[in-house]
């Protein structure tokens, strides 16, 4: 953790990059959580279309 903190202190652009990364990660997690439900519902419906 020390190396991570020192890396953050040394790199002036880490704030912007971190904000972007956190946004992408949180959006991805949200999309995955919503997406899994949607995908499962779609998978359940798919066999009905082929019958």
**What is the reported pLDDT for 7?**
56
**What is the reported pLDDT for 5?**
60
Rounded Cα gap, residues 51 and 1, in angstroms: 56
* Domain ranges within the chain, ordered by starting residue: 20-51
For residue 9, give both structure tokens: 């202190």
pLDDT tens-digit profile of 1-51? 456 666 556 656 667 888 888 889 999 898 888 888 888 888 888 777 776
Longest C-alpha distance within the chain, in Å? 61
Burial class (CB in 10 A: 0-12, 13-18, 19+), 14: middle
Rg of the Cα trace of the chain? Answer: 20
């Amino acid at each position: 953790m020390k190396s991570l903190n020192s890396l953050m202190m040394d790199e002036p652009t880490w704030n912007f990059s971190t904000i972007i990364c956190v946004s992408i990660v949180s959006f991805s997690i949200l999309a995955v959580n919503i997406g899994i439900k949607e995908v499962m519902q779609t998978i359940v419906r798919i066999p009905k279309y082929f019958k």
